[in-house]
Structure 1
Amino acid sequence: MDGIFFLMLRRLRAPIVMLIAIYGIAVLGLVLIPGVDDQGRPYHIDFFHAFYFISYTATSIGFGEIPYPFTYQQRLWVLCCIYLAVTGWAYAIGSIFGLMRDETLRKAIAQARFRRKVRQLAEPFYLICGYGQTARLLCKVLDDLDIRFVIIEQREERVNEIALADFRFDTPCYAGDAANPEILKIAGIEHPQCIGILAITGNEEANLAIAIGAYVLRPKLLSICRSRNQSVADNMASFGANKVINLFQTVGRKFSRRLQQPQVTRVCDILADFPGNPIVEEPSPPVGHWVIVGYGRFGAAVHGSLLRAGCTVTVIDPEPQAQLAPAEFIQALGVEAASLKAAGIERAVGLLVSHDHDANNLSALATAREINPQLFTVARQNLTHNHLLFEAFKPNITSIRAQIIAHECLRAMENPLLAEAMALILQQSEDWAAEFLPQLHQLCAGQVPEIWRVRFNAQNTSAVHAMLAQPTPPLQIGHYTHDALNHGDTLRCVALLHRHAGVDQLLPASSTRLQFGDEVLFIGDHHARLAHTAVQENIGLLDYIRTGEEQPQGWLFRRWAQWQQERRRERQRNRELDQERDPAAAAANTPPNENA
């Protein structure tokens, strides 16, 4: 704010000096010009009354002549002062309005407001650099999950869109270059509540600069970066980026898994999707002859996957491709029937359209379907707002660039255990995945489940109580299927992964005993997540899911229950002592209900 104040003083220096000069001359002249008092004697008005009179006269308020009526000389001077003051104030007010339109001042005020909002954040938040299509999808999901975020976007028109977005929180946003470390500091990268930074701008060099800045300012901060070039991705990884997302490599790996492990890939796709989205069944790509229209890095990634799966491929692209054999390549745009027929579209089992322009992809898709209606089609959608056109064409698989990157970001952000769970799932068989898929569908009534982690450490108050203070009965994973908020109900959740002493177990048994330091990754609906959060914060709720009995709440009732329990233990000890001395008499004195 100090910078804004001094900036305004510099911009208004001339009007302020002019007003001071006008007031000074007017006051001095009024003091020097003699007047006449009520007795007809000459007098000179003092500086205080002169300044008082000029102040309300120059602003056109007017309270009359003080302390006595003015002479003609005084009134003539006041008349001149009025016109001087009006001119000075007009100049000053015009300068103030011009200052309000000053771009430098507007940026300074916006930066100060942004800095204040970030400083006041009291909840964990992510710093998102870039507000393109990927960030829009990601921010919507984070907002639905009640996760705060801060946005830096270089283009001001995109920043204005954030104000119109229907977020539940007042999102701090700023139009600036995130590659500048000073902007990162203002955006809160050093804030204690900042839990991660996402470099997902459309500029690879900017993403690399953000990765470097994050490594220097917060070396241990979670860093997720987007890249298209492998050399840039390797450079990002060398600067400590926890997750580097290469769009084309991700697409290639995903398509390869679809061909080789369709059921396992389906499980991974559901877990990586946005929570709450409907689970959509996607057919597996067939093996045979494929035609690829558009051989950029996207098409090249899928091309390698098809070859590894034993498919034959013909590529159509308007640019020459020296790395492809002449028999496998046709130089054309691929939207006309002649080039598609030359590529063998009539005998093909699949078609991939992956141009950089959606219009070319849709045109090639329409032409190919007229020739071969039985084609398995995979379409690359570049712009999110073209979803209506692609939904009308209904390709078997639609690969949306923004969604792929957003899914990968969400997977890295949600939980470190999720990546470990995914790696274990990919090692499972197709039969295992086929048995687990119906359970996933039933878990949230056909919707993508939420994913959360429960850590049994010193920050978990209930865990300290259950494992250290009162370890009986032992806490098990199965206890977390009991609904502590609605007594008697069962939660719709499943323990996906259990980590104990660095060893991960996929889908642990409900009888698995939990120990201090363990971590469990759960999947389920939103109510189950809220119930688990409540259990971690309330010892009484944890005791209820362990014992099935409601524990007394409040200090007085807990003390009463403790006193009763100690009395029962004392009576039990006395009976045991009596039984040792006289077993027959002890049995006769035992109450019937206790014998039962």
Structure 2
Amino acid sequence: MAIPLLLLNMRPWRRDTGLRRRDVAIPTDLPNTDAIFLVLRRMRLPLITLLLVFGVAVGGLTLIPGVDEQGAPSHLSVFDAFYFMTYTAATIGFTETPYVTTATQRMWVVVCIFATVATWAFALGSLFALLQDPTFRRATGLQRFRRKVAAIREPFWIVVGYGEAGRRLASAVDRLGRRIVVLDEDPGRIDVLVADQMELDVPNFAGDPRNPSLLGFAGLGHPKCEGVLAMTDKDEMNLAVIMASTLLRPEITVMSRCSERANLTRMADFAPAAVINPFERYGNYLSLDFNRPVTSRLTQWLLSPPGSPLPEAHPVPTDGHWVVVGDDDFGSEVAADLTEAGMDARLVDVKDEVDAVGAAGLVAGTSSDTVNLAVAAHARIQNPDIFVSLRQKSAKMTALVDAFAPDATFVATDLVAFEILARLEAPLFWGFIEYLRTLTDEEAEPLLTTLRGALGDRAPTAGKFTVTKREAPALTRWLGLGHTLTIGQLLSSTDDRERSIAVFPTVLVRDGTSTPLPDLDEELRPDDELAYLANEDGGAQLQQTLFHDTSIEYVATGTRLPETWLWRLLRRAGSRRKER
């Protein structure tokens, strides 16, 4: 009997928070966003001055008398004067007139040239100053950003924050071929995004994401918006993004990172799909290593890149005390988790001398990578056999950390980006991982043995399909004829149905209910969703079965149908004759 799927720290993708009491239009009313209005306001005086000078010049030419070819007094028409000043006022040059100008007219034209040149210099200077004005540049950039977002026709995610975590997540989502829109309050980070080589066009803007109107410009109200990912390094800003997203669009998915437990509770009140505290997560991982090493080994293997070997069993030392060095919430979080796991954890301030003699392990968890490496190096000198867990904040230190080779490395941005990406790409697989973390070593050991027997010692690939005409056409047709097919039959080899292919079912979703490790005798139904683990060959064979009627009938009945269309037609005709 399968048991309901338990998902730790994960909420339903569709939920009702109960906090929204009224439907409200998503605001998009940021101030100073109309570039045309800014141009008219800033260029008003230069344009008025230019028009006045031009008008006075034209009027003067029409009033000053000239002499025609017969020597009689004559005046330029308004059109002739306008035509003449169109060349002269624009400093293009002189043009023809109906007759030769007099000295008075020439003197007036000289005055007009000096006046128009000065006026044009004033107007152009004002225009260039406007083009460099931060308010105008922001207005034009925001309008361009809004047009790009409005033009998106594919599902997309809004990524708020383009620090190290946001950058890693955005790059990974882009490689998956999924559209994103990026917001960050720091223009420098947006400049980094522009320089990054993204495969798809990424609309971006630098502004305060705490303003709901900016989220509206970013596509919060867009029908193709799938969700919002709050990846800034400020809990208060992430909380504001969660509040705006869940209150204005409660039906979309919202996920966030968090650093403090107090803010974690505040965020949870708005029921986002996930709030990830990397400090707490890492402490949980260490506790899992201590108390259930087999379960930890199993989950690490499944979370490794496909094809990675099964990790060797290296239990974390538990004999002796642990030293945790920190200067912020990370140290206290890890020390509390180790204590809760039954370890003797001693929190040491970074300003104090660190004594690692006789310690089983050390967690160098300050906010400085340089200090962490120095503390870890000193501990290794004092105790060469000590287990070292190193906190790394900046990707710039990766080469040094790799050279030092600690026993475990904690990179908060990687942890956050990896978990959110896993939830986006394969939510059922991540739910299965969370379920595995609830197992005891006694329960995880036989499961690990079964997985190795079915898939080998290389990390498998996670996949899923839904019993629909699009994803499993042959299976859907088979069930539509009133036939039955079990999970075990589906995972049989098309060469010999007595053998199974290298595919292991992990989660079965039926009518909104998720069941981990479904029985192989469970019969599939239309619209069922089945998640699985497979190696490369097993996944290819499963796809062949799902799409070919002959494969479905063989694994279900053992009967091999003709492969060609003509032979299948003749077989059906023969069957009809026999029925008669």
Structure 2-normalised TM-score? 0.82
Which residue number in structure 2 is paired with residue 168 of structure 1? Answer: 199
SS in 2 for 1:135: helix
SS in 1 for 2:34: helix
For residue 431 of structure 1, the aligned residue among 445, 453, 471 is: 445
Which residue number in structure 1 is paired with residue 415 of structure 2? Answer: 404
Which residue number in structure 2 is paired with residue 546 of structure 1? Answer: 552
Alignment of 1:41 onto 2:72: yes
Structure 1 counterpart of 2:197, which letter? Answer: D
Once the two structures are overlaid, the 10-residue window that deviates more, 362-371 or 467-476, is: 467-476
Aligned mates of 1:254, 1:157 — CA distance in 2: 34
Which residue number in structure 1 is paired with residue 531 of structure 2? Answer: 521
- The change in CA–CA distance for 1:278 and 1:3 in structure 2 (over 3 A counts) is farther
Structure 2 counterpart of 1:388, which letter? Answer: A
Which residue number in structure 2 is paired with residue 300 of structure 1? Answer: 332
Which residue number in structure 2 is paired with residue 324 of structure 1? Answer: none
Which residue number in structure 1 is paired with residue 119 of structure 2? Answer: 88
Which residue number in structure 2 is paired with residue 202 of structure 1? Answer: 233
Deviations 1:241-271 (A, max 9, x none): 1211122221221111111222322333354
Alignment of 1:392 onto 2:411: no
Which residue number in structure 1 is paired with residue 497 of structure 2? Answer: none
Structure 2 counterpart of 1:147, which letter? Answer: R
Aligned mates of 2:397, 2:313 — CA distance in 1: 20
Partners of 1:128 and 1:200 within 8 A in 2: yes
Aligned mates of 2:144, 2:492 — CA distance in 1: 45
Which residue number in structure 2 is paired with residue 456 of structure 1? Answer: 467
Partners of 1:256 and 1:302 within 8 A in 2: no
- The change in CA–CA distance for 1:531 and 1:153 in structure 2 (over 3 A counts) is farther
Deviations 1:511-568 (A, max 9, x none): 75431221122445899999999999xxxx454753688999xxxxx9xx79x84x76
The CA deviation at 1:233 is: 1.2
SS in 2 for 1:6: helix
Deviations 1:472-518 (A, max 9, x none): 685867658999xxxxxx99865432223455444556775431221
Which residue number in structure 1 is paired with residue 352 of structure 2? Answer: 333
Aligned mates of 2:147, 2:312 — CA distance in 1: 46
For residue 184 of structure 2, the aligned residue among 153, 159, 176 is: 153
For residue 9 of structure 1, the aligned residue among 18, 40, 44 is: 40
Alignment of 1:114 onto 2:138: no
For residue 218 of structure 1, the aligned residue among 232, 249, 254 is: 249
- The change in CA–CA distance for 1:575 and 1:390 in structure 2 (over 3 A counts) is closer
SS in 2 for 1:294: strand
Deviations 1:436-488 (A, max 9, x none): 66479858x66x74x454333588694895367556685867658999xxxxx
The CA deviation at 1:234 is: 1.4
Partners of 1:274 and 1:407 within 8 A in 2: no
Partners of 1:463 and 1:516 within 8 A in 2: no
Aligned 1:500-539 pairs, distance under 5 A: 500-508=510-518, 513-523=523-533
Once the two structures are overlaid, the 10-residue window that deviates more, 521-530 or 389-398, is: 521-530
Structure 2 counterpart of 1:68, which letter? Answer: Y
Aligned 1:177-576 pairs, distance under 5 A: 177-272=208-303, 283-295=314-326, 296-318=328-350, 332-334=351-353, 339-340=354-355, 345-428=356-439, 429-435=443-449, 438=452, 449=461, 451-456=462-467, 462=473, 466=477, 494-508=504-518, 513-523=523-533, 541=547, 543=549, 546=552, 565=569, 569=572, 572-576=575-579
Aligned length: 534
Partners of 1:378 and 1:399 within 8 A in 2: yes
Aligned mates of 2:504, 2:336 — CA distance in 1: 36
Structure 2 counterpart of 1:317, which letter? Answer: D
Structure 2 counterpart of 1:382, which letter? Answer: K
- The change in CA–CA distance for 1:531 and 1:144 in structure 2 (over 3 A counts) is farther
- The change in CA–CA distance for 1:520 and 1:247 in structure 2 (over 3 A counts) is same
Q: Tell me the percent identity.
A: 31
- The change in CA–CA distance for 1:521 and 1:86 in structure 2 (over 3 A counts) is same
- The change in CA–CA distance for 1:461 and 1:46 in structure 2 (over 3 A counts) is farther
SS in 2 for 1:197: strand
Partners of 1:291 and 1:316 within 8 A in 2: no
Aligned mates of 1:154, 1:531 — CA distance in 2: 48
- The change in CA–CA distance for 1:441 and 1:469 in structure 2 (over 3 A counts) is closer
Structure 2 counterpart of 1:546, which letter? Answer: I
Partners of 1:115 and 1:187 within 8 A in 2: yes
The CA deviation at 1:89 is: 0.9
Higher relative contact order (CA 8 A, sep 6+): 2
Once the two structures are overlaid, the 10-residue window that deviates more, 301-310 or 137-146, is: 301-310
Greater Cα radius of gyration, structure 1 or 2: 1
The CA deviation at 1:59 is: 2.1
Unaligned runs of 5+ in 1: 319-331, 484-489, 553-557, 578-596
SS in 1 for 2:321: strand
- The change in CA–CA distance for 1:365 and 1:571 in structure 2 (over 3 A counts) is closer
Which residue number in structure 2 is paired with residue 592 of structure 1? Answer: none
Aligned mates of 2:541, 2:46 — CA distance in 1: 63
Structure 1 counterpart of 2:388, which letter? Answer: T
Partners of 1:30 and 1:50 within 8 A in 2: yes
